[in-house]
Amino acid sequence: MDPLATLNSEVCELAREAGKQIMRFYEAGTKVTLKKDASPLTAADRASHDFLMQSLKSLLPEAAVISEESEEATNGSIDTGRSFWLVDPLDGTKEFLK
């Protein structure tokens, strides 16, 4: 398998695992806090964020990981001159809470 196909397969597996992390909270309920912009942040967001931050760094250590829940995502400090992952750990948090 070529390196890009291998990376794609690994990333898909990480996405499935992040989904499993989220579903634990969906089934059991989750605590909600508010971010600076007043949007909701759940324990499910944080669990997925933490998992993906660690896991993606292990796949490509030279690539930055920017998550919607990262400080870098809100302060504009992304170095576009190098490779990076751009992640939304739980897309649709408001819908997730319904």
Domains and CATH numbers, the chain: 3-97 (3.30.540.10)
pLDDT at residue 79 greater than cutoff 90: no
pLDDT tier at 69, thresholds 50, 70, 90: confident
Higher pLDDT, 88 or 75: 88
What does residue 64 show for φ and ψ, rounded to 5 degrees? -70, 155
Q: How many CB atoms lie within 10 A of CB 13?
A: 11
